[in-house]
Amino acid sequence: MRILTSCILSFIMCGLMNAQNSAQKSSAPAQPSAARKAAQSEKATEAQVLKLLDMLQIRDNLKITLDAMKTQMQHGSEQMLREKIAKPTDAQIKTVDQIVDEEFAKISMDDLVHDVVPIYQRHLTKSDVAALIAFYSSPVGQKLRREQPAMMKESMEATSAGQREKMEQLLARVELRLEQFIETEQGKP
C-alpha cells in the first residue's frame, strides 16, 4: 500500500511540476540572485499551497490517476490469477477485482493531498505560489486546468501498454541477472 501511494504521488508530482514549470516560465520574470535568495527564505503557507492544489484540480487529477492505476492493477492481477489458475472462473476473476477495489478504497484523497504540501513548501516560496495562483487564475491557466485532466488520462492510456511491456521486460532481465548472480555466489568456495 505504501509503495502504491508513493508511486501515485511520484506520478502526480511529475505531472504537476511540469505544469508549474511552464507556468512559472510564462508568468514570473527572472529574479536577480540576491532577490531570489531572499524570496527563498519566505516559506509558502499550508493554506496557500492547498489553494494552489485546489486550483490545479489535484483531486480530479488524483481520481483520474487512481482510476487508471486501478484498471491497470486489475488487469495485472487478473493476469497473475490466470498464471496461477489455468482457467479461472468468473467468480474468481470478480473476487480479484473486488480485492483491488477494496485496496484502492483505502487510499485517502485528503492524505494524498496533504502529503504533497510539505514538498511544495520545500520547493516553492510564498511569492512562487502567489505567481502560480495568478497564472492559474488567468485565461490560459484556466484553460490548462480544464484540459489537464483529459490530457493526463490520454497520456496514461497512451503510455500504459508500452510501459507495462517495458516493465515486464525489465523485471525479467532483473530476475535473470539475479539468478545468475546467485548461482555465481553459490558456486564460490
Burial of 144 (0-12, 13-18, 19+ CB in 10 A): middle
Most confident by average pLDDT, 7-11, 24-28, 66-70: 66-70
pLDDT for the residue 97? 92
pLDDT (average), residues 164-180: 85
pLDDT (average), residues 142-149: 87
pLDDT greater than 60 at residue 35: no
The answer to whether 128 and 24 have CB atoms below 8 angstroms apart is yes
Kindly report the length of the chain: 189
- Side chain identity, residue 154: E
Q: Sorting pLDDT into bands at 50, 70 and 90, what band is 93? A: very high
Cα 123 from Cα 39, distance rounded (Å): 11
Angle in degrees, CA 23, 26, 28, rounded to 5: 90
Q: Which residue carries 500504459 as its cell? A: 160
More confident residue, 47 or 167: 47
The answer to whether 157 and 68 have CB atoms below 8 angstroms apart is yes
More confident residue, 19 or 163: 163
The answer to whether 89 and 120 have CB atoms below 8 angstroms apart is no
Q: What percent of the chain has pLDDT over 90?
A: 39
Other Cβ atoms closer than 10 A to 52: 23
The answer to whether 109 and 59 have CB atoms below 8 angstroms apart is yes
